[in-house]
């Protein structure tokens, strides 16, 4: 599917935020491990979360989805699946990584695999930690990368994990920890990437009854005496997906309100709003949402976006139309996403006339006159959505493979339809 974006100016739009992908993944897993039947209200039903649901079903969990909720009959920390079970997680890194640790709770070894790109995304640090906690790990192709077969059992105890490549490694271990045979004492080494996601993980775990003692982002002690308990859980709105509409106001001018967001959310991507404020936008928090307005010129900034990784590309689009240079740092781990987002963003912006240079942990965007063009997002949903927003500011940009947005935001093009008409 190809979508061509017309140039628009002076936006006046109100849109509801889709449910959070991060919260949905974690709530599904906690509910699956709980004792009793849970109801997940307002979940995100996108390609990635559907992969998590399908994987839990292959592990023996009964899942019933319908309307605005998902009912899950928990397994009380013990999956039942046939020998030779394979979980194909396609290109959902969150699904594969979070499920890797809970695979130790299955009664037979489980193999986790995915797309060609997934096989290039490292899981070595997670595998090493699982081995220290009782797992038996085997890589079928390249050591440290999927496909990976996980057997053994989750004994618990003390372990360390390198968090510098991805916070998902630590989140994976933590999600499984309440079901271990002994308490889990996890120490995270290195500077944790996207550390706000550890807050989301810990929050969902405690909401489902787990007990965690922590020292910031360095050490987490998880009790095995407080297992997950069933409950009704409401998924909050997603700041990552909302960022595209906030950027629309910044790039095209006007005002956009996104409803369904928690103003006190721990989601790291809400920091994107601070970046927009520094660039000259007006940001207003209301009871049920956030409004961003802008009328005038945007000023470039220097900013560390390590806490808001999924909005880096969106910020790059805003920076591309600013009047002064922007330097974005703390983004080295974006090389390991659905695409190498640093390289892809720089390349595609330069195709449109931009002046962009990329390093291992930064990207620099300088003012330049932009023009239209054809953008191949390399099957990366966030690349497609961020360049779509830029397209509405410049006009004449076409996105190929536009259906890739279904990975996290199936209603994205419908939400933009009122602006594009």
Closest CA to 74 of 61, 59, 90, 87: 61
Please enumerate in sequence order all residues whose Cβ is within 8 A of that of 133, keeping only pairs 6 or more positions apart, or say none. 104, 154, 155, 156, 157, 159, 173, 180, 184
DSSP-derived secondary structure for 359-393? -SSEEEEE------EEE--TT-HHHHHHHHHHHHH
User: Do 35 and 230 meet the contact criterion of CB atoms below 8 Å apart?
Assistant: yes
pLDDT at res. 337: 87
DSSP alpha helices (H): ranges in 35-110? 47-58, 93-102
pLDDT at res. 338: 87
- 279, with CB counted inside 10 A (0-12, 13-18, 19+), is buried
Q: What phi and psi, each to the nearest 5 degrees, are found at residue 393?
A: -85, -35
CA distance 6 to 161: 47
Q: Which pair of structure tokens corresponds to residue 80?
A: 């039942």
How are beta strands 148-152 and 362-366 bridged, if at all? Answer: unpaired
pLDDT at res. 287: 76
- Domains in the chain, please, with CATH? 3-17+236-420 (3.65.10.10), 21-229 (3.65.10.10)
Residue 207 is a catalytic residue: no
Neighbouring C-beta atoms of residue 331, cutoff 10 Å = 26
Tens digit of each residue's pLDDT, the chain (421 residues): 999 999 999 999 999 999 999 999 999 999 999 999 999 999 999 999 999 999 999 999 999 998 899 999 999 999 999 999 999 999 999 999 999 999 999 999 999 999 999 999 999 999 999 999 999 999 999 999 999 999 999 999 999 999 887 899 999 999 999 999 999 999 999 887 788 999 999 999 999 999 999 999 999 999 999 999 999 999 999 999 999 999 999 999 999 999 999 989 999 999 999 999 999 999 999 877 899 999 989 999 999 999 899 999 999 999 999 999 999 999 988 888 889 999 999 999 999 999 999 999 999 999 999 999 999 999 999 999 999 999 999 999 999 999 999 999 999 999 999 898 7
User: Do 183 and 224 meet the contact criterion of CB atoms below 8 Å apart?
Assistant: yes
Q: Which of 310, 347, 361, 376 is catalytic?
A: 310
Q: Max Cα separation, the chain?
A: 62
Q: What phi and psi, each to the nearest 5 degrees, are found at residue 100?
A: -60, -45
């Amino acid at each position: 599917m190809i979508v061509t974006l017309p140039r628009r100016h002076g936006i006046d739009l109100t849109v509801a935020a889709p449910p959070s992908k991060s919260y949905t993944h974690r709530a599904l897993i906690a509910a699956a491990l709980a004792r009793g039947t849970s109801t997940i209200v307002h979940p995100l039903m996108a390609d990635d979360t559907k992969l998590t649901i399908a994987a839990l079903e292959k592990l023996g969990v009964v899942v019933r989805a319908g309307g605005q909720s998902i009912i899950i009959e928990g397994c009380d920390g013990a999956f039942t699946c046939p020998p030779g079970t394979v979980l194909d997680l396609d290109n959902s890194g969150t699904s594969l990584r979070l499920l890797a640790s809970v695979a130790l709770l299955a009664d037979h070894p489980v193999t986790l695999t995915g797309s060609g790109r997934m096989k290039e995304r490292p899981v070595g640090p997670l595998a090493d930690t699982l081995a220290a906690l009782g797992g038996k790990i085997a890589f079928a192709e390249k050591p440290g990368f999927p496909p990976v077969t996980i057997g053994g059992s989750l004994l618990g105890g003390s372990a360390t994990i390198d968090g510098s490549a991805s916070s998902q490694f630590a989140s994976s271990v933590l999600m499984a920890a309440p079901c271990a045979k002994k308490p889990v004492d996890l120490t995270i080494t290195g500077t944790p990437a996207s550390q706000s996601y550890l807050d989301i993980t810990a929050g969902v775990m405690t909401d489902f009854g787990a007990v965690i003692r922590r020292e910031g982002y360095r050490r987490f002690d998880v009790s095995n005496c407080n297992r997950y308990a069933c409950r009704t859980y409401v998924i909050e709105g997603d700041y990552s997906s909302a960022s595209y509409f906030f950027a629309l106001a910044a790039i095209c001018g006007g005002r956009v309100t996104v409803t369904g967001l928690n103003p006190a959310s721990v989601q790291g991507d809400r920091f994107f709003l601070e970046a927009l404020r520094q660039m000259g936008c007006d940001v207003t928090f209301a009871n049920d949402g956030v409004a961003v307005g802008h009328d005038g010129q945007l000023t470039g900034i220097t900013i560390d976006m390590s806490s808001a990784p999924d909005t880096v590309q969106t910020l790059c689009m805003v920076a591309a139309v600013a009047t002064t240079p922007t330097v974005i740092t703390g983004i080295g781990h974006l090389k390991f996403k659905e695409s190498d987002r640093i390289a892809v963003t720089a390349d595609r912006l330069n195709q449109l006339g931009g002046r962009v240079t990329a390093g291992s942990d930064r990207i620099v965007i300088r003012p330049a006159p932009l023009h239209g063009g054809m953008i191949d997002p390399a099957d990366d949903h966030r690349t497609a959505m961020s360049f779509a927003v830029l397209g509405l500011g410049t006009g004449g940009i076409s996105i190929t493979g536009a259906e890739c947005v279904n990975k996290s935001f199936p209603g994205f093009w419908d939400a933009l339809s009122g602006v594009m008409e």
